[in-house]
Amino acid sequence: MLELQELEKRIGYQFKNRALLRRATTHRSFSADHNERLEFLGDSVLGCTIGYELFKLDSHFSEGRLSRVRSNLVCEKALDEIAADVGISDFLLMGEGEVKSAAPRSLRTPWKRFSARCFWTAVLSRLRPSS
The 10s digit of each residue's pLDDT in 74-120 is 887 887 788 888 888 888 888 887 777 765 444 445 555 556 666 66
CB 128 within 8 A of CB 39: no
Q: How far apart are CA 131 and CA 97, in angstroms?
A: 50
Q: What percentage of residues in the chain have a pLDDT greater than 70? A: 76
CB 123 within 8 A of CB 42: no
Which pTM was predicted?
0.68
Q: How far apart are CA 10 and CA 75, in angstroms?
A: 22
* Model pLDDT, residue 121: 62
